[in-house]
Chain A
Amino acid sequence: MAYCVHCGVRLGEGEKACPLCHTVSVDPAEKKVPSPERAYPTHTPEQLLVRSKRYFLTLFAILLVLPALLCIVIDLLIGGSISWSVYAFSALILMYVTIAVPIWIDKKKPYFALVTGYVCLMLYLIMVENVSQSGSWFFPIVLPCMTLGTLMCLLLVRLYRHQVLGKFTMAGACTGAVGILCLLIELLISVSFGSIALLWSPYVFAPCLFVALLIFFINGNRAIREEIRRRVHF
């Protein structure tokens, strides 16, 4: 029989700590015998019910087939050949793959989902460049920008998953990353045009940097941080 030294209540059979104040009950004279079973099962609560992935993905595919077919039919009826509908068709495939792959594999494999999305998007853009015959813009501009963005996302995901930063500082890091990404993208574009000039990106970079610094500053004050967390948690 044990009593909580803080609350004065008697602890039920199998309770190793006071349920009210969580103070651990220790009896130095206690013999090492298997502890009796608790009054209630204490299994980890069941998480949200897992819905059928296959069912959802099939339904999603069926819903996308309709607009895809509609685009092709309209394109054929109006133009007599397949022209613009190839973009819509490919975009729908891209949308399906981007959404379906993370659902199909596992939420806990974000690297794979990110890389898959990146590869699909690149393939789509190469196709657009070739079909539209609008000059060479993919390799000099799009590929480095998208690669840079993806690498930055992978880095942020890694920081988050390894809990290098807290949730609050993570928000600051993401904001800062958006600002830096804008700077680099404009730099890459201007280099590909043969000049180095920053026109619009400093206007994005400056507020992002300000917000990021503000978040890091607030992070130092526990009271304000908790108040914000309470109000904006989701």
Chain B
Amino acid sequence: MAQKAWFKLDNAAKLYPAISTNRWMSTFRMSAQLHESIQPEVLQKALDDTLPRFPSLNVRLRAGIFWYYLEQAPGKLQVRQDEGHPCMPFSKKRDGSFLLRVFYFRNRISAEFFHVLTDGTGGLCFLKTLTVRYLQLLGHDVCADQGALDVADAPKDEETLDAFHNIPLPDVRLSRKEEDAWHFPGTKEISHTLNVIAASMPAAPLLEKAHEMNVTFTEYMVSLMLLVAYESQKESGKRPRPIRVSVPVNMRSFYGINTMRNFSSFLNPGIDPRLGEYSLEEICHCVHAFMAHYCTRKHLSGIIATNVAEEKPLLIRLAPLFIKNWAIASVFRNAGDRQFTSTFSNVGKTPFPTGSEKLIRRFEFLLGVPYDPLCNCACIACGDEVRITFSSNIRETTLPRKLLCRLVEMGIPVEVESNYQEES
């Protein structure tokens, strides 16, 4: 397999460099919490072995005349001790030219990615491979399976494929117009701040609750978030506005393409409180019906076709990069995250690689700083535990507090951790 020296940005990635600043970047973090403390030297060796297996991650961002592109990064990525807040913007001074970072903190290995490289599924695959390699170097008999790749194998063409341009797309342009959604009121934190609240709970009672409502786990959690937002909106006494939760959808399962680059789309299920009162049952029904209608290969391919079609006209392709950047940034500044109230990103049930069940405690998924003042939510399930992580750039904890209190009221035991500074 011929290793590519450089990559064009995929369709989803084209947005991120244009809107990034030294104050804000779209990033996310994947972590693996082990039972033993991390040995940095071994982790460094594991990273050195793992990174060449992921040619699409071992890259730096370069500006061409018309588009950005990714090319193999020079130098060696160093593991670092985790400090400060997670998911901060990448800087050349601290991170070199790499667009991912690997941290260790106590018994946790974390990998942070600039979204231009990959999405949650690709990030989790990298983290699993790194963790398996780390455990192998420590002498444990762990298999590179269940989503982890074998570092001894050569990278496959499929893994570096720009899937957006390699799938059959309908000749259609769907409207993306949606009213601005309601946002939780809150005091915006200063830049370079990300408040994290991580909650762990058993998966079985949550699934049971979801099944009682005849919805999936994701639909149930989205419904709960909508309900919490709906109640908060009522309490605020402000004019009601639509409430939507953005749900990233992994497109790999629809097309059977196992790329390590971005291949996700988004759906925004929601409710409109201007139409009347809502109960949890009703919201579950709305979300389930929405997802059944829109979370299909046909509709999602329509969304992708719309996005891809926008970069096709000759005039756009020939526009210099700085003009494209200006245009994209202007559109994003005006739209931003306004179309949804929050995000719920669920990478689903993640099996432990064979032999690592007693070595890895859990995996964790964390979304980066939102563009607008928001509170986002990421979720991952490992073994019989669900780990939900709230990340926000507002001081108030309305969404996690109300959501987790509701789960406690349902009889689900919840354990919380945070990075909030203790009042002295």
Contacts and interface: CB of A to CB of B under 8 A. Distances in A.
Given A9-B404, A9-B408, A49 B415 contact: no
Given A45-B192, A46-B192, A49-B22, A20 B416 contact: yes
A214 to B, nearest CB: 25
Contact of B405 (A13, A20, A39, A42): A20
A15 B417 contact: yes
Contacts of B83: 41, 43
B422 A19 contact: no
A97 B409 CA distance: 64
Contacts of B191: 47-48
A37 interface: yes
Interface stretch (B140-148, B193-201, B274-282): B193-201
B242 interface: no
A46 B88 CA distance: 9
Nearest to A6: B405
Given A17-B422, A19-B420, A37-B106, A10 B85 contact: no
B211 interface: no
Given A9-B415, A48-B192, A21 B420 contact: no
A12 B417 contact: yes
Interface in A22-45: 22, 37-45
Interface in B90-121: 91, 93, 105-106
| Secondary structure type dominating chain A contacts | loop
Contacts, number: 106
Contacts of A18: 416
B415 A47 contact: no
B401 interface: yes
B204 to A, nearest CB: 17
A37 B37 CA distance: 13
B415 A12 contact: yes
Nearest to B91: A49
B402 to A, nearest CB: 9
A186 B328 CA distance: 52
Contacts of A20: 197, 397, 400-401, 404-405, 416
Contacts of B400: 19-20
B3 interface: no
A26 to B, nearest CB: 13
| Secondary structure type dominating chain B contacts | loop
B414 A41 contact: no
A8 B420 contact: no
B41 interface: no
A168 to B, nearest CB: 16
Given A20-B400, A20-B405, A42 B414 contact: no
A65 interface: no
A64 interface: no
B214 interface: no
B414 A10 contact: yes
B343 to A, nearest CB: 19
Contacts of A39: 198, 417-419
B421 interface: yes
A7 interface: yes
Contacts of A12: 198, 415-418
B85 A45 contact: yes
B421 A44 contact: yes
Nearest to A17: B422
A17 B416 contact: no
Contacts of A45: 84-85, 88, 189-190, 192-194
Contacts of A11: 415-416
A204 to B, nearest CB: 36
B106 to A, nearest CB: 6
Contact of A42 (B190, B409, B422): B422
Contact of B419 (A21, A41, A47): A41
A9 B199 contact: yes
Interface in B1-43: 22-23
A38 B401 contact: no
B370 interface: no
Contacts of A8: 405, 408-409, 414
A45 B82 CA distance: 13
Contacts of A21: 397, 401
A39 B417 CA distance: 7
B423 interface: yes
Interface of A: 7-13, 15-22, 37-49
Query: Which 3 A-B residue pairings sit nearest by Cβ, starting from the closest?
Result: A19-B418, A12-B417, A40-B419
Given A7-B401, A19-B400, A38-B417, 14 more contacts: A7-B404, A9-B408, A9-B414, A9-B415, A10-B414, A19-B416, A19-B417, A20-B400, A20-B416, A39-B198, A43-B84, A44-B84, A45-B193, A49-B22
Interface of B: 22-23, 82-86, 88, 91, 93, 105-106, 189-194, 196-199, 397, 400-401, 404-405, 408-409, 413-423
